[in-house]
Structure 1
Amino acid sequence: MTNIWNDTSREMRRLDVSEWETLIGAVCKDRHWTLIVIYPRQGKALYIDPFGATSGQLMQCRDKTRAFLRRKNINISRWKCETISHPRQQDSTSCGVFVCKIAEQLLLGQQVVFQTEKAAIDLIRLEMAQKLIDESDDLMDLCHACGDRDTSEALVDDWVTNFETMFNVCLFIQCAYFILMMCVLFFRLNAQPANVGSTGCV
């Protein structure tokens, strides 16, 4: 959504907007998060700033979202941008939490209401972190360095722990193939690894 706001939404060229009732996303501008919700079939967009939207922001949102939809060949005769009543951000660091919580409540069809004191926002942060962990894929069988998945007994999928590079930095868990490639790179740079442990270099 930040790219739509900045008129650089090239990666959305293949998106067929007409297939969707709602497009929702966050905009980051000057390190402050805001929320845009586009309802193509209803001819409107919502702009939500955790501090409260200004008339200038609403006009800019209207112009940006309308231009985006026109580029997608969506016929817009009347287009408007409005905001909704919502809890206001009370500090300078929780805009992202507000945007995520408001987006969640809108998508669930709930009234946008939640507590805004520090303890309540901290609890929302913890709930968000827990949800991300609960919904994440198990990455224990992935190489932390190259992303390869351990799929066989072959040497290239062997896992090596606590391998120290020439910079003496632990890479945690990585596959033997990644280590081999790093060794080749080190030797090409005319540098010797400080310690390759028991794996050695081929």
Structure 2
Amino acid sequence: MYLLNHYTAGVILFGDRTQLISHSLPKVNFDNYEAVLSFVLVNNNHWKLLYIHANTSTVFLVDPAQSIKELDDSEHAAKRIQEHFRMRSHSITDWVDVKWKGGVMGHPLQTDGCSCGVVVVKMAKAVMESFPLIPNVNFECSKKYMKRERRELALEILEASGSV
């Protein structure tokens, strides 16, 4: 599974062609991977999960908030992913002939306006734990639970950075 940084994922999904050229990832051979996982910051205020599952040629743009457009957003993301691989194919042909489609995976919904980051991190963990299967993500999203998860996630990040 290739872990794509959130900035490059945002450029691929929402950037213009000039931005795409400088984020073509020429040193990455995606044929060596069965999936791509990333986070995407939308409108500088909301996190979504991007999961590209090569075995099923499916792109999931997962919104932790309730959205009736999740399939449409995933289909649009699949189109942008397709364009990205075609654009970078001047000498690179990995994943260029894949016919990407959008998909929806089951997941819990955030219950407040500030836990999208925590929810997408927990969804990413579920994706990684069930890989190569596509998970039906399920965990509690109450405000109390999200508060505890946010604190635990912060401690984990600090411990990993050597700051604690």
Does the pair score TM above 0.5? yes
- Letter aligned with residue 39 of structure 2: A
Distance 1:134 1:97 in 2: 17
Q: Which has the higher helix share?
A: 2
> After alignment, is 29-38 or 49-58 more displaced?
49-58
What SS does the aligned partner of 1:28 have? strand
Q: Which has the larger radius of gyration?
A: 1
Distance 2:98 2:157 in 1: 40
The AA in structure 2 aligned to 1:19 is N
Deviation beyond 4 Å, 4+ runs, structure 1: none
AA aligned opposite 1:128: L
Percent identity of paired positions between Structure 1 and Structure 2? 22
Deviations 1:23-73 (A, max 9, x none): 111111111111111123431111200124414312211211222232343
- C-alpha distance in structure 1 between counterparts of 2:26 and 2:66, whole Å: 31
The one of 13, 37, 42 equivalent to 1:24 is 37
Larger relative CO (CA 8 A, sep 6+): 1 or 2?
2
Residues 63, 28 of structure 1: alpha-carbon distance in 2 compared, 3 angstrom cutoff: same
CA contact 2:57–2:99 (8 Å) conserved in 1: yes
How large is the RMSD of aligned CA atoms in angstroms? Answer: 2.1
Asked if 1:122 corresponds to 2:147, the answer is yes
Q: CA shift at 1:131, angstroms?
A: 1.2
- Of 75, 79, 83, 1:59 maps to 75
- Which amino acid in 2 is paired with 1:43? S
Matched residue count: 139
Instruction: State the TM-score, normalizing by the size of structure 2.
Output: 0.75
State the secondary structure of the residue aligned to 1:108: helix
**TM-score normalised over the length of structure 1:** 0.62
Question: Which amino acid is the alignment partner of residue 117 of structure 2?
Answer: G
- Cα offset for 1:22? 1.4
Gaps of 5+ in 2: 1-8
Q: Which moved more, 1:123-132 or 1:72-81?
A: 72-81
